[in-house]
Structure formats: structure tokens, C-alpha cells
Amino acid sequence: MELKQVIIAHKAADAQSRQWAEKCARQLESLNCRILMGPSGPKDNPYPVFLASASQPIDLAIVLGGDGTVLTAARHLAPHNIPILAVNVGGHLGFLTEAFEEFKNSEQVWQRILADRYAIQRRMMLQAAIYEGDRTNTQLMSDKYLALNEMCIKPASADRTITSILEMDIDGEVVDQYQGDGLIIATPTGSTGYTVSASGPIVHDGMKAIIVTPICPMSLSSRPLILPAGSVVSVWPLADYELNTKLWTDSILGASIWPGQRVDVRMSEHQAKFIILEENYSYYHTLREKLQWAGARVHYDNNHRNN
């Protein structure tokens, strides 16, 4: 990979992340690389400025922070096919990031990238849009929204918790009506996020599938579903007299949804591209580490494993 123009996004209001961003910028500039750098956070979105001011194709985006910082980068950069090197600097759980230990000798990292000594992992994303009425109407009523983790349809109110009533169909066939706190429609990447907190399944992030998980449904028969990636999931808000139903993309407010409108969620044509530095990367090791799986309270040795 060439490193002629690189984005560096650091977690807003985090001193450690900013310091490492400045250090990386100095190192890359010494390699004659043009740097576009700025903070990323709930009140800071540097990507429109980065993309508008790029004087040539962007070779790489370095994202220093936690999973939230990475999700923002993926939504903005996937349509432009820009690979992301995500490093856990100032983040917490870090499912989507490289461990800091893989990055702390950053000068060696640049040499590895220049020598193509890395792997690229492509992850499925979701696309959502709002339409009026049934599936025969394909006139957009909103922007198209991207998510790497999940789309969520649920109400929001400043003064009370609201029960939502949502009807869902899959590929034009009504499947269920959900009464509860809302509905999560996730990618395999997002299955270890909001979905797993709502008792949804964990799905290997190398798969292409759509996971539908109701949030605290009032019916015990409302269960999570794993769908083929080519499915189109349509959701209508019902009995929403106060117009509180919202579409959330990776936990960020996307748009309001009114009765008579539907949200169509499908696999996006865009994929998020991540640089993998760890030579023996293992999805299962990540699960054990991040979810702190410890096994039985009493540990039993498996003396048969290597026999």
C-alpha cells in the first residue's frame, strides 16, 4: 500500500488519543505523506471535511479510539472504499479495534503497511431508508443510512418510557407484530453489541446474515431471527399517536418514522475494510477476551487435547 494521503481521526476529548494522533502524523509526514487529522465524537464529525479537502485518493484511515469512534469512521468511509486501521486508544471494550500492543511501535507499523505485510478484513454493513406505505411505493422519504453494527427502530421521549408496536415483514410477507421496547436489526459484526445485550445470538463476523432481535417483547413467543443476507426487512410503526418512533443507526439518531411510513433494511453494497496487524488473529480469542468467558467455576484440565 502507498501512504501518500492518510486520515487520522482521534477520539474527541481524549488526551491520550490526541497525543498518539500527533505522533503518528509526525512520523508519516517524515515519509512524505499528507495528513488530514481531526477529532471524532458525538459533537465532532471530521469526515465530510476530510473527504472534501482530499487532494488525491485517500490511502488509509487511522482511527484512534474505541468502537464508537470506529463505527463513525466505517459509516463515512465504506462508500469510498477506504481501509481503516482501528486502534484501541482511549476506548473501552474494543471489539472492532487492534490491541494497542500491536500498534505501540508505530514506525514499524508504517513499514509493514508499505511492504503489504497485513491482512484486510471486509465486514458486511446494513442500509436503511424510509418509504411511504407498502412495498409498491419505492419513492424515498429520507436519506439512505448505513450501519456497521445495527439499525434500531424504537421510540424516544424526554419524559417517559414508551412501548412501541411494530409490524415486520420479510421480503413482503408479514412475520410478526412486536410490542415492547423496539426492534434491533443487526449485522454479524453487531451481534456482539446491542443485540447480545438484548439476548440475541452471537454470529461469526465472517458471515453474511441479518439478525432481528426484539427488545424486551411483551410476548414470550417473539424470538430472535437469523435471516439470509439478501432479505429485505420492512418495519412499520403502529399506534404511534405521539410520533415518537425513531430510526437509530449504530446508536446514532437517524430519522423520525411516522405512522404510514416503513423502514426497509437490507444488506448494503458497501463493506467496511479493516487492516489486521495481528499475525495470528482469532475471532474466538476476541470473544473469550472481550466477553471474559471463564468457563466453569471449577477448572478442569483437558488432558486429551494433545493426545
Band the pLDDT of 158: cuts 50, 70, 90: confident
Whether 282 has a pLDDT exceeding 70, the answer reads yes
What percent of the chain is predicted at pLDDT more than 90? 78
Q: What is the pLDDT of residues 195-212, one digit of tens each?
A: 999 999 999 999 999 999
- Identify the pLDDT of residue 257: 94
- Identify the pLDDT of residue 299: 79
**C-alpha distances out from residue 192 to 92, 224, 288, Å:** 14, 14, 12
- Identify the pLDDT of residue 159: 81
Whether 242 has a pLDDT exceeding 80, the answer reads yes
Mean pLDDT on 127-148 = 89
Cβ partners under 8 Å of residue 44, min gap 6 = 12, 38
Q: What is the pLDDT of residues 73-97, one digit of tens each?
A: 999 999 999 999 999 998 777 789 9
Whether 297 has a pLDDT exceeding 80, the answer reads no
* Mean pLDDT of the residues in the chain: 93
Band the pLDDT of 115: cuts 50, 70, 90: very high
Whether 141 has a pLDDT exceeding 90, the answer reads no
Spatial contact of 194 and 177, defined as CB atoms under 8 Å apart: no
Q: What is the pLDDT of residues 10-29, one digit of tens each?
A: 999 999 999 999 999 999 99
Report which secondary-structure segment, H or E, holds 24: helix 15-29
Mean pLDDT on 233-238 = 96
Mean pLDDT on 298-305 = 82
Whether 279 has a pLDDT exceeding 90, the answer reads no
Please indicate whether residue 14 is annotated as part of the active site. no
Q: What does the alpha-carbon distance between residue 78 and residue 63 come to, in Å, rounded to a whole number?
A: 14
Whether 176 has a pLDDT exceeding 70, the answer reads yes
Report which secondary-structure segment, H or E, holds 264: strand 261-276
- Identify the pLDDT of residue 238: 93
Mean pLDDT on 125-133 = 94
Contacts 24+ apart (CB under 8 A), 102-108: 102/277, 102/278, 103/277, 106/20, 106/23, 106/24, 106/27, 107/27
**C-alpha distances out from residue 265 to 98, 194, 207, Å:** 29, 17, 17
Band the pLDDT of 307: cuts 50, 70, 90: low
Q: What does the alpha-carbon distance between residue 280 and residue 217 come to, in Å, rounded to a whole number?
A: 40
Catalytic residue among 67, 181, 205, 250: 67
Q: Beta-carbon neighbour count of residue 137 at 10 Å?
A: 12
Mean pLDDT on 128-148 = 89
